[in-house]
Each structure stands twice: as C-alpha cells, then as structure tokens.
Structure 1
Amino acid sequence: MATLVQPAGPFALGTFSAPDGDPFPGLLAGERVLDLSRALDSAPSDVRAVLGRWADTLPLLRALADDDARDWQPLEGLRVHAPVEPRQIFQSGANYRQHVIDLEVAHRSPDDPRTVEEARAEVAAVMDRRAAEDLPYVFIGLPSTVAGPYDDVVLPAWAEQPDWELELAAVIAEPAYRVSVEEALGHVAGYTIANDLTDRATVFRRDMKAIGTDWLRCKNAPGFTPLGPWLVPAESIADPGGLRVTLKLNGDTMQDESTKDMLFGVARLVSYISQTSRLLPGDLVLTGSPAGNGLHWGRLLRDGDVMEGTITGLGVQRTRCVEEAS
C-alpha cells in the first residue's frame, strides 16, 4: 500500500479487507479503521449501503470517529479497495477549458490549414459559448472499469495510445431525479479520486466518422478507472471548485490544475444528469480531466509506468501499469 496521506476532515469512508478476508465497509480515522458492518445497527454490507441511509448515518459516523472504545483495527496490514462499487458512472467530457483546447490542437488533421494559435483561439471561443449556453456534455461508463487505488492497471494489447485522466469524482448519497442546481449538492455524500484511463487511438471511429466517439472501446476496459483511496464526506471539502488535481508519472508532474478551470461545477453536472437519469446511492459523477494528459506531452502509458494521483484533501492513489499477457 502507498504511504498514507490523511484525507481532509476527521474521518473518511473506504472498503477494506484483511489478508484472505472479505471486503468490508470501513470508517477511517487517523491510521485506524472501524468495521461498519459491525459498528452500525443497520449492519451495512458495503459502502453503498451506508450511503443509502446517509442522512441518518452521517451523525453516527461523526460520533464513531471519536469513540476510542470501539474495536478499531490498524490500517497497516489491511488491503484498500475502491471505496464504493457504483451502479452507474456518469462521465463529464470536455469540461476543463484548457484540456479541451490542448486535445483539439493535438487531434488536428495534418491538412488543417489553421495555425496552432488559430486553432486554439477557435476552440477557446467554442468553450466560452458552451459555458454561456449552459450545455454540459455527459456520457456513461461501466462499473466493471473500477479498480482499487493501489491495484495494477493492465494495458490491453489492443490499446495503442493508453492515456491518463485524473479527475474529481462526486459520490451520490440521496437519490437525485430532476433536482435543481441549488438542490444538487444536497445529494452528494462526498468526493474521491478517479483516474479515467482512455485509449486515444480508439476515441473516434475510423470506419464511419459520422458516428463520432466510441466511448465503449476507448474507456471501458477492465480496471480502467482506478478509484479512491477514500470517500471524503462533502462536509470536509469546503469548495469542490477550488481543489488541486495533480498526476505524476514516474515522479514527473504531468497534470497540475485547479478544479476552478471546470466549465461546469459539481452542482451543475449533478442537476443536468438528473434531468434525464435517476442518480442512485453510490453512483459516480466524474467531473472531467484537466490539461496535461499524455497526448499533450507526446508520452503515452507503457509497461512499468507508475501513476501517482492526488486531489486536495482526498489522499493519494498509486497504480502501476502492466502489459497484458499475450
């Protein structure tokens, strides 16, 4: 396990297991963990069950975090899994202004007559218009992509250009359907870290350009969404629009941006999604990736690479890339 970086606030949630034991929902306070399947009268089987009774359970978690008489376990020696198993993953695309500009320039056709400066200016104008017209862009991901924060990432043999995308993820508590922007954050239990890996070579369909993007192919390989380590309650994050998102590759900083660069914040995204879909406890809303992806640097992921991702107050995840066995 990576070196512990304490999350913001007095406690966080996670999913843990002892060696050869079954995963259990846990309360992390300092460097100790309390098994919530035993500590709570509702005997939740997983973190999603904890979130399903969030309004009632949150005060109990605050009290448990200070209860030294409970049967706490040391974090050291426990395996840390993804903090929650979502039923639905909603992913925001093109939500960081600088990131979209960088990608558009990198994906330009060789015969594009525009200079780099002209291309950047045109895309910047499009981003500003999207923000003014209030039109987020959201697509769906598969729960089977979720992996633990310290698990190896298997790079599929077919993925020619695997890339990183570190993102802030909001975790839903109370079900949300057709909620307003003002109501939306009341449905968010907390936040965690997601690395939304993408194979850049398969983002766009080559056989029929009119079809557009192929999110199934480029983003949904098993383990392509390392998640966690912790679910930090929203009450411990003063402003989700003012967090630092940083990814290091083999020790070198590649992404380092504030969530202030988002076109649409968490409340707007949750509200927008809820106008079409019913958000459920444990669902993830990925808020998009800031600038600094591999395509920008001309350096994609390969066997042996180590990614270390951190977001202010949410801890650190550390994953190693491994080639798929032939």
Structure 2
Amino acid sequence: MDFTGIATIKVDGAPAAVAVRAGKALPLARVGLANDALRLVEAWEETCTAIAGLGEDAWAQAVPFDMAAALIPYVPRQVFCTGANYRKHVIGLMMGDPSMRTADMEGKSPEELRAHAERVMDEKAKTSPPFCFIKLPSAVIGPNDTVVLPRQVEKPDWELELGVVIGKRCRHVSPEQAMDHVAAYAVVNDVTARELIFRKDGSAVGPDWLAGKSFPTFLPFGPLLVPRQNVADPYALNIRLSVNGKVYQDESTSDMMIGIERQIAFLSSIVELQPGDLICTGSPYGNGSAFGVYLQDGDVMEGEITGLGQQRNPCVKESVAG
C-alpha cells in the first residue's frame, strides 16, 4: 500500500476527499472514486485496492497537501470513548483527584494510595471489561478548527488519543476477529469539561458524560485516516500534545491497559458497529488535571501521533451573546 492515508481538503473551493502520498493530495473524484471520505470508508477494502492500483498518470493530477489546511475527514454516525484506559493516567487521577478514589482508599498515605492504585490497574488490565461511553457526533470538528470553551465550564481539559475507524459492520465479534473490522487509525482529542463529569447535586447515577464530554467542538478529529495495514504496531505509537508550546502529554500507546481488540469485542456485544464509527481508545498521562492547568481563551493545542499527522486547535471562550 503506497499511500499514507485519506484526508479531506478544499479543492477548487469545496471539500474533497483525497489520497495523500509524499506531500501530495490526489482528489479521488478525479479518478472515479467517491468525493466523500465516509463513503470511501463504507467500501474501505475496495477503496484501498483502487488507490493502490493507481499509476503515476493518475498521481500527476495531485495537488500539494498542507496538513495545516486539512478539514474534518467526515462526521461519524457513532462515537465511542474508552475511559480510564491508560495505567499511568488513571493512577495520576486517583492520586490527585479525591472523587476518583474508592472508599477503601480513604486514610491511606500517598505511598499506600499509589500501591493500591497500581494493583487495581494491573487487575483491570487482565480481567475487566473496558469502561466505554458515548460522545455525540455533533462534538466532532476538524484537526485545525477552533475549540470553543463553554461559558459555564471552568476546567476544560485535553485528552489526545488514538482513534480507531471501523470499516465493516460488526456485532458479537471476538477479540481475535476484531482487527479485521478496523479500517484506519486517526488522531482524536477528547476535550473534557472536567468538573462536570461528576455532579455536585448528590446524584447517585454515576458520571454525567453528556455534560462532561459532548459540548460542540469537543472532539477534534484528523487530519488523516491512515489504513490499519500502514501502522505496524498500534501499541508502539507516541502521543504528544502541547499547549502554547509547552508539552504536557508525551507517552506511548504501550501504556494502554485494555487493547483495541477487547474494546471492539465489548462494544460489538452491545451495539452494532458500523463503517465510519469512531472509537477513542483512551488518553495517556498528561491531561491538564494532572498539573492543575486547564484550557484558557487564546490557548493553542498542538497534538500529534506517530505517523498519523498533526492537529492545531486554537481555543476561544464562548461569548455571552453567543
């Protein structure tokens, strides 16, 4: 497979699906393929075969590819997120946020807390199902779009993650079958209203994922859909995010506790996964909450994952009149 991935850019003033190779973008409508990335994902194997078979005469129609101008690849029908899925990240949360602690952690010294958290995480990695929730597709934006910080949110936080794009319908698949249903990988940023995850009104129904996760613009996605076959090992990728040039996240996907295979198997036991569905597989250590730092008006987030491209998202505070 000799192309890097698929993106959406403006061509002749309109969004167009393109194949990307060596700094060039080939508008796929020019070679008889769909002009919409979601339609390409829906026929992913045929799409990749067709692109791989294109000759140099076809690539002569390519235009320069500027990652900083890439648009949202497409709007997924369904978005799923796996929470608390990186060992170092969750241990940091349990150490720093009392609301994350269970009753048997009260009164322990910092050393005892850390040892307890490490035991819990190691056991979860072996036996527990993933902790999955839904994020609204209306939160999805492009890799260079502006993140709007809601007026009522005091602690907007970043969570750069490895995104998995489903390429085949699947229901009740086993972990051994799961990767056959993956089309591509992508960069995603699960922006979170940290203080709204756990309600303050004494509700006993658990986390409020709607309020904490699904504000408009809270999921930058892209720039590239990189075919699964182009990623030798999804558990050997570096996830790196900076805010205003200061690096906060700089970790490996090797710290993921529950792998992509088990996540897909679990989700497919509950819902039917469809082509184009997006799974955010969890965020490594380095979220703002670990440092007591949160997104502010004027901040710029820059994120990248090995081989999957870069995002650059400025942040602005939602206007009162807005």
Measure the CA separation in 2 of the matches of 1:296 and 1:88. Answer: 29
Q: Any idea what SS the aligned residue of 2:235 has?
A: helix
Distance apart, 1:74 and its partner CA: 2.2
CA contact under 8 A between 1:16 and 1:78: conserved in structure 2? no
Which of 218-227 and 79-88 deviates more? 79-88
1:27 corresponds to which letter in structure 2? A
Instruction: Determine the structure 1 residue equivalent to 2:21.
Output: 29
Are residues 1:82 and 2:72 paired? yes
Which of 110-119 and 44-53 deviates more? 110-119
Instruction: Determine the structure 2 residue equivalent to 1:310.
Output: 304
What pairs up with 1:78-117 in 2 under 5 angstroms? 79-108=69-98, 112-117=106-111
**CA shift in 2, pair 1:69/1:283, >3 Å:** closer
CA contact under 8 A between 1:11 and 1:65: conserved in structure 2? no
Distance apart, 1:69 and its partner CA: 5.3
Distance apart, 1:18 and its partner CA: 3.6
Instruction: Determine the structure 2 residue equivalent to 1:39.
Output: 31
**CA shift in 2, pair 1:83/1:244, >3 Å:** same
Measure the CA separation in 1 of the matches of 2:55 and 2:199. Answer: 50
CA contact under 8 A between 2:27 and 2:35: conserved in structure 1? no
Measure the CA separation in 2 of the matches of 1:261 and 1:56. Answer: 34
Instruction: Determine the structure 1 residue equivalent to 2:10.
Output: 17
Measure the CA separation in 2 of the matches of 1:197 and 1:69. Answer: 37
Instruction: Determine the structure 2 residue equivalent to 1:4.
Output: none
CA contact under 8 A between 1:27 and 1:65: conserved in structure 2? no
Distance apart, 1:323 and its partner CA: 1.0
Instruction: Determine the structure 2 residue equivalent to 1:50.
Output: 40
Instruction: Determine the structure 2 residue equivalent to 1:165.
Output: 159
Are residues 1:277 and 2:267 paired? no
Measure the CA separation in 2 of the matches of 1:39 and 1:72. Answer: 11
Unpaired runs of at least 5, structure 1: 1-7
Q: Any idea what SS the aligned residue of 2:53 has?
A: helix
Measure the CA separation in 1 of the matches of 2:59 and 2:45. Answer: 24
Measure the CA separation in 1 of the matches of 2:16 and 2:261. Answer: 30
CA contact under 8 A between 1:91 and 1:138: conserved in structure 2? yes
What pairs up with 1:109-148 in 2 under 5 angstroms? 112-148=106-142
CA contact under 8 A between 1:32 and 1:74: conserved in structure 2? yes
Instruction: Determine the structure 2 residue equivalent to 1:213.
Output: 207
Measure the CA separation in 2 of the matches of 1:181 and 1:66. Answer: 39
**CA shift in 2, pair 1:69/1:206, >3 Å:** closer
What pairs up with 1:193-212 in 2 under 5 angstroms? 193-212=187-206
- 4+ residue stretches of structure 1 with deviation over 3 A? 65-70, 76-79, 109-112
Distance apart, 1:133 and its partner CA: 1.6
Q: Deviations over 1:278-324 (max 9, x none)?
A: 11111111100000110101111101111111111111111111111
Q: Deviations over 1:132-188 (max 9, x none)?
A: 224111111111111111111110111110000000001011111111111111111
From 52, 71, 74, give the equivalent of 2:61: 71
How high is the TM-score relative to the length of structure 1?
0.91
**CA shift in 2, pair 1:9/1:292, >3 Å:** farther
What is the total number of aligned residue pairs between the two structures?
316
Are residues 1:183 and 2:173 paired? no
What pairs up with 1:202-281 in 2 under 5 angstroms? 202-281=196-275
**CA shift in 2, pair 1:77/1:321, >3 Å:** closer
CA contact under 8 A between 1:29 and 1:65: conserved in structure 2? no
Unpaired runs of at least 5, structure 2: none
CA contact under 8 A between 2:86 and 2:255: conserved in structure 1? yes
CA contact under 8 A between 2:243 and 2:300: conserved in structure 1? yes
1:288 corresponds to which letter in structure 2? G
Measure the CA separation in 2 of the matches of 1:14 and 1:306. Answer: 22
Distance apart, 1:113 and its partner CA: 2.2
Which of 117-126 and 299-308 deviates more? 117-126
Q: Any idea what SS the aligned residue of 1:160 has?
A: coil
Q: Any idea what SS the aligned residue of 2:88 has?
A: helix
CA contact under 8 A between 2:187 and 2:222: conserved in structure 1? yes
